[in-house]
Amino acid sequence: MNTLSPRTAIGLFLIVVLAWGVNWSVTKQLVQFVPPLWSAAIRSWIALAGLFVLLGLSNNLVIPERRDIPVILSVALLHMTLFSILVAGGLRFLPAGKGVVLGYTTPLWVALAAPLLGKDTLTAPKLAGALLGLIGLAVILNPSSIDWSNTNVLLGAGMVILAAICWAANIIYMRAHRWIGSPLQLLFWQVLVATIVLSVGAMALDGLPRVAWSWRLVLLFLYSGLIGTVLAYWAMSMVNKSISALTTSLGTTGTPLVGIASAAILLGEPIDISLAIAAALIVSGIGLATLGDRMLRGQATASG
């Protein structure tokens, strides 16, 4: 795969942010028709088929090296399985706009947990960013924004936050892993493992799915599997080769904003003041923590 021009890379990156942001509203609709486990499993099967074709055509469908198996399992189980199940389950009870903001607290948990595990250094900008994000989390979880008398809503919020923590654990492991194959080359195997686990789990817990298929449901699954997963991951792999990691890290903070806007447009969800303030605080916190992380890495590189 050749490096893209900066203009093309930025355009492709905007598509990724849009695809991921809208996918929260799509997932919210899917779980109204299909149980969360089967929703994640069916989407994963569609993504697996799409990746098989895409990676085969681009000569990136390769057998992984043994040393890459731990990272394949980490991504497949922590991100593609647990994160997907918890988000799908949480969105059954939680508005998509609030869900996407809670789900994208992941970098904050990374900033707090990595130093405790000896995997990073907690600098002042990262601490300030994490505190901003936690204040935003408190704002979105305040009783005027979340109905504390509704157990299902609290359960949904807890599931999405736990999903973000699972994703954070996966990121911390990925940073420490010495990659042999590229992330794109390993993506098919990660999705394959996740698809098997999700399908077995769905069959064991829910039995065969009873789905009232319609064109709308088919299109929602196709979007989630092909656009929200295959296209987004392929595009991100191209973008990462063409623009700086700092740009992509900061740019992904736009995903929850797109998620809030798409939920308002597609689902008619209101954007209340608590959600707007929380999103601003969390996005600002992620940006500050990201800048602090990049500054630390830059200093480490300069000092050899």
DSSP string of 58-123?
Answer: TT---PPPGGGHHHHHHIIIIIIIIIHHHHHHHTTTS-HHHHHHHHTTHHHHHHHHHHHTTSS---
Question: Which two tokens mark 159?
Answer: 């599931």
Alpha carbons within 13 angstroms on the beta-carbon side of residue 55 total 23
Q: What is the dihedral of CA 135, 255, 91, 218, to 10 degrees?
A: 180
- Does residue 293 register a pLDDT over 70? no
Residue 168, domain member (yes or no): yes
pLDDT one-digit tens code per residue, 121-159: 777 888 888 899 999 999 999 988 888 999 999 999 999
- Comparing CA positions, the residue from 82, 18, 13 lying closest to residue 44 is 82
Residue 43 vs residue 112, higher pLDDT: 43
Q: Mean pLDDT in the chain?
A: 89
> For residue 26, what pLDDT is reported?
97
Residue 250 is assigned to a structural domain of this protein: yes
Strands (E), 154-267: none
Percent helix, strand, coil in the chain, to 5, is: 80, 0, 20
- Tell me whether residue 97 is in a domain: yes
As a whole number of angstroms, the distance between CA 221 and CA 228 comes to 10
Q: What percent of the chain has pLDDT over 90?
A: 65
127-136, 184-193, 248-257, 277-286: least confidently modelled range: 248-257
Q: How many domains does the chain have?
A: 1
The pair of three-digit structure tokens given for residue 211, joined into one six-digit string: 């789905």
Element counts in the chain: helices (H) and strands (E): 14, 0
Q: Kindly state whether residue 1 falls inside one of the protein's structural domains.
A: no
**Which has more pLDDT, 167 or 126?**
167
Q: Which domain holds residue 279?
A: 6-302
- The answer as to whether 127 is a domain residue is yes
- pLDDT at residue 274 tops 80: yes
Which DSSP category does 143 fall into? Answer: T
Mean pLDDT over 192-200 rounds to: 97
- pLDDT for 79 equals 95
**For residue 61, what pLDDT is reported?**
92
17-56 tens-digit pLDDT: 999 999 999 999 999 999 999 999 999 999 999 999 999 9
> Would residue 89 count as lying in a domain?
yes
pLDDT at 204 over 90: yes
Task: Report the interhelical angle of 124-140 vs 96-103 (nearest 10°).
Answer: 160
Please state, in angstroms and rounded to a whole number, the distance separating the CA atoms of residues 194 and 269.
Answer: 31
pTM for the structure as a whole: 0.90
Of 116, 107, 113, 122, the C-alpha closest to 282 is 107
Return the minimum-mean-pLDDT range out of 89-98, 123-132, 209-218, 229-238: 123-132
